[in-house]
Amino acid sequence: MKFVDEFRDAELGRAVAGEILAVVDPDRHYKIMEVCGGHTHSIYKYGIDDLLPSNVELVHGPGCPVCVIPMGRVDDGIALAHEPGVIFTCFGDMVRVPGSTQTLLDAKAQGADVRIVYSPLDALRIAKQNPEREVVFFAIGFETTAPSTALTLRRAKGENVQNFSVMCSHVTIVPPLRALLESPDLRLDGFIGPGHVATVVGARPFQFLPDQYGKPVAISGFEPLDLLQSTLMVLRQLAGGRAEVENQYARVVPWEGNLRALEIMGEVFALRPHFEWRGLGFISQSALRISDAYAEWDAEERFAVPGVRVADPKACQCGEVLKGVIKPWECKVFGTACTPERPIGTCMVSPEGACAAYYNYGRFAREREVA
Amino acid sequence: MTECLVAHGCITCGDEALPMRVIEIDCERDLALCVEADGAHSSVEIALVSPVALGEMLLVHAGTALGRGAEGAEAA
């Protein structure tokens, strides 16, 4: 298929890997963070890290939307799912994310009407088919998913669907990156930028990384050659003493993003003053709420949401994994008490989570490289 | 639900998006019927990228087209 097959060419991949080998300084250890969970998944699915020199380390960032949802927010969702008459809809991964006492799947087993949807528009369709029920959509995700929720809310308002509401837990990518760069326990040399978030917001918002922190960035696609080429672009910038935003994924990502999507997001959402991230704590202006113009469709206005705050389980080190401070196999419960079948932490739930990617592709252990 | 539990990633659970080809267009409702590389068909919201043409490649996430694949892209 066009735009897929040509980016999986093994011969070209080996050629790019050779260029990477030629550009790295053998006496230097490089730490490059791939921000997006989709990239983490692709890296282990295709064995990209095996093609890199041993002194080029890929660090996995906080860009898995399921992984960053705090336990208290899951409890809030479960409380809504247990409300009489509610049909609670969410994406498939969310049903397995552990709350403090149960998952949404457990709630479903207890009789709550929890349904998996593949798009918020499916949730709206369920609302129109069940006018006597209240249908709540648990919206998660970065700027990639937010436009879909925004379009759905605009349709709900346009068609005056009164029994539909959204529990908005959308987050934004720039504030956690700033938080990571301000963190004293992590030294990064550059970033592989999130290609699909950038499809919506554009490459421009990542300009602060070179401008304010002197870090090179390559916005990347998700195929093996995309990731190899983006790694090469970051390493070439480092070798040349440059720090810029380069757009490897230019076949899809415009510099200014999707202006129509940004416009509708501006209409439907407003920034929350702060939001709790799993493992990262509260980060200012890092999440979206439903705007006043759409307050009628805001589940947090319609229902009494408990607003639960729960500390992460002590054994779970998702926070350190999300910050890239440790690798998944270094977590005390990785692959033993915490597996994709019985996850303790969110990073083991979603296929995009770093722990699940390591587990599913057999990366159970590797000698830790010393920076 | 099992589709979401496999190790191939889930396009709607995460922030992954997939290329799809347009095979039918419903301009009135801003929808298009699209086909994935594996042959699966989906109804896709095209309000953010319209107008689209038959045969065009779209980048689709959570049932919504976010962008389109540019012609002439090079692999490396």
Q: What is the pLDDT along chain A (371 residues), one digit of tens a residue?
A: 555 667 778 888 889 999 999 999 999 999 999 988 888 888 988 889 889 999 999 988 887 788 888 889 999 999 999 999 999 999 988 888 888 899 999 999 999 999 999 889 999 999 999 999 999 999 999 999 999 999 999 999 999 999 999 999 999 999 999 988 988 777 899 999 999 899 999 999 999 999 999 999 999 998 899 999 999 999 999 999 999 999 999 988 999 999 999 999 999 999 999 999 887 889 999 999 999 999 999 999 999 988 878 887 778 888 888 777 888 888 888 888 888 888 888 788 777 788 888 888 876 665 544 44
* Residue bearing tokens 């129509």: A260
Q: Do A119 and B4 touch (CB under 8 A)?
A: no
Q: How far apart are CA A242 and CA A236, in angstroms?
A: 8
B4-38 confidence digits (pLDDT tens): 333 444 444 444 678 889 999 998 888 999 998 78
Q: pTM of the predicted model, to two decimals? A: 0.86
- List the single residue in A with minimal CA-CA distance to B70: A251
Q: How far apart are CA B68 and CA B74, in angstroms?
A: 15
**Residue among A3, A65, A253 whose CB faces B57 most closely:** A3
Q: Which of B57, B59, B76 sits opposite A225 (nearest CB)?
A: B76
Residues 53-82 of A with CB under 8 A from B: 63-66
At B76, the pLDDT band (50, 70, 90 cuts) reads very low
Q: What was the ipTM of the complex prediction? A: 0.76
Please report the residues numbered 41 through 60 in chain B whose beta carbons come closer than 8 angstroms to any beta carbon of chain A. 45, 47-49, 57, 59
A102–chain B nearest CA distance, Å: 18
Integer Cα distance of A365 and A79 in angstroms: 38
**Which residue segments constitute the domains of chain A, with CATH numbers given?**
71-172+257-302 (3.40.50.11740)
Where are chain B's structural domains?
A: 2-68
Report pLDDT for A212: 96
Pairing label, strands A164-170, A134-141: parallel
Say if CB A82 and CB A51 are below 8 A apart: no
Minimal CA separation from B74 to chain A, in Å: 8
Overall fold of domain B2-68: SH3 type barrels. (2.30.30)
Nearest to B75 among A117, A225, A360 (CB): A225
Mutate to test the interface with B, among A9, A96, A119 (most CBs of B within 10 A): A119
Q: What is the pLDDT of residue A301?
A: 95
Contact A250 B70 (CB under 8 A): yes
The reply to whether residue A37 touches residue B13, judged by beta carbons under 8 angstroms, is no
**Chain B contact for A116 (CB, 8 A cutoff):** yes
